Structure 1
Amino acid sequence: MQKLLVCLVIFLFITSCTNKKSTPFQVSNDIKKLIAGDSLKTWKLAKRYNGKTRMNMGDCFLHYRQSFYSNGTVTDNNAQHPSCGPSLSGTWSVITDSLGYTHIRITSVKLKELLHIDEDYKDFRIFYANKDSLHLSYTHKQFGKKRRISDYLVSEELSITDRKFHH
């Protein structure tokens, strides 16, 4: 009986330590319309996390808008705010990776310079999407291949309390 109990404890310990994989978010058939609307949809950052830590929302984050067009182009408004850096323009598409996760892929020659990466594209994993909100996550070169940054975007016209977060 004691051997059985020891085996049970070892089994529970081993199974509790296994790496739990998240289940891919099942995007709807109209995901492109949710992202870009009928012709254009502009998103603003509601909040951003680095791991489990909420990031401060300074002026550049508060002013930031990203516009997705139904023709597959994407732009942002950074250049309209002098201290926020250059704007990004490029194309976007929805892709599914080999593990079944759906991403928004943004492609632009400017990405290499802006994000200090080797590729001309960046994939943003979709964790949630509806007509008013997007939860996207991506890896940042500073953190290697670890998925660290989570952006919660909302449709531009929505009013969001507590956006100007500082701790």
Structure 2
Amino acid sequence: MFSLVAILCFTRCKEKIKKEPYQVPDDLAQIIAGDSLKTWKLLKRYNGKTRMNMGDCFLKYRQTFMNDGNVYDNNIENSDCGKSLKGSWKIIKDSQNFTYIRITSNQIPKLLGTTENYKDFRIFHASKDSLHLSFVHTQYGQKRRISDYLIDQDLQIKGRDFHHK
């Protein structure tokens, strides 16, 4: 009997926690890629609920979305920051009406340790100056939700060089 009550409570509590899909702006593609291209930089990143240290590679990282559907980053331009990703992007919705940026590239399986040649980044917020994206990443046998807060590359925001003390 206790098990049944616990299961019902867990199910109902889980239903309450489940959020409605973020209503993306009508001009989402324009927000992401601008008139021809737009470059974003990391403001902060979370691994689960833990804010990650922002070392040199994170601080220098830039991701450029082009309105022709191409996307690339600048990792290769920075010493010891890994290979750059070049691919294509598009906006998709899942069966629950959540909106994602899907990046497709033959480099993704090797760079992200997956079998698919695409990665979906769920959109939690999008405005002309900021994006909040989240994706699931498997590392060391554990699935973790990574949340990236990106800002327009031209914005100067204090506190980007965060480090746990």
TM-score between both structures, scaled by the size of structure 2? 0.89
Inter-partner Cα distance in structure 1 for 2:29 and 2:152: 14
Q: Give the drift of 1:14.
A: 2.6
Q: Give the drift of 1:29.
A: 1.4
Please list, as runs of the form range in 1=range in 2, the aligned pairs for 1:7-86 lying within 5 A after superposition.
14=9, 18-19=13-14, 20-86=17-83
Q: In structure 2, what is the equivalent of residue 126 of structure 1?
A: 123
Please list, as runs of the form range in 1=range in 2, the aligned pairs for 1:140-151 lying within 5 A after superposition.
140-142=137-139, 148-151=145-148
Q: Give the drift of 1:146.
A: 5.1
Alpha carbons of structure 1 residues 35 and 144: separation in structure 2 relative to 1, 3 Å: farther
SS for the counterpart of 2:80 is helix
Q: Give the drift of 1:16.
A: 9.0
Q: In structure 2, what is the equivalent of residue 158 of structure 1?
A: 155
Inter-partner Cα distance in structure 2 for 1:16 and 1:93: 34
Q: In structure 2, what is the equivalent of residue 7 of structure 1?
A: none
Q: Show structure 1 runs of 5+ residues with no match.
A: 1-9
Q: Give the drift of 1:165.
A: 0.5
Q: In structure 1, what is the equivalent of residue 113 of structure 2?
A: 116
8 Å Cα contact 1:24-1:101 kept in structure 2: yes
**Are 1:106 and 2:103 counterparts?**
yes
8 Å Cα contact 2:138-2:144 kept in structure 1: no
Q: CA RMSD in A?
A: 2.0
8 Å Cα contact 2:90-2:101 kept in structure 1: yes
8 Å Cα contact 2:89-2:103 kept in structure 1: yes
TM-score between both structures, scaled by the size of structure 1? 0.88
Inter-partner Cα distance in structure 2 for 1:35 and 1:16: 36
- C-alpha distance after superposition, 1:12-43 (max 9, x if no partner): x9379621211110111110000000000000
| One-letter amino acid of the counterpart of residue 73, structure 2 | D
Q: Show structure 2 runs of 5+ residues with no match.
A: none
Q: Give the drift of 1:82.
A: 2.1
8 Å Cα contact 1:139-1:145 kept in structure 2: no
SS for the counterpart of 1:86 is coil
- C-alpha distance after superposition, 1:107-132 (max 9, x if no partner): 00000110010000000000000000
Whichever of the two has the greater Rg, that structure is: 1
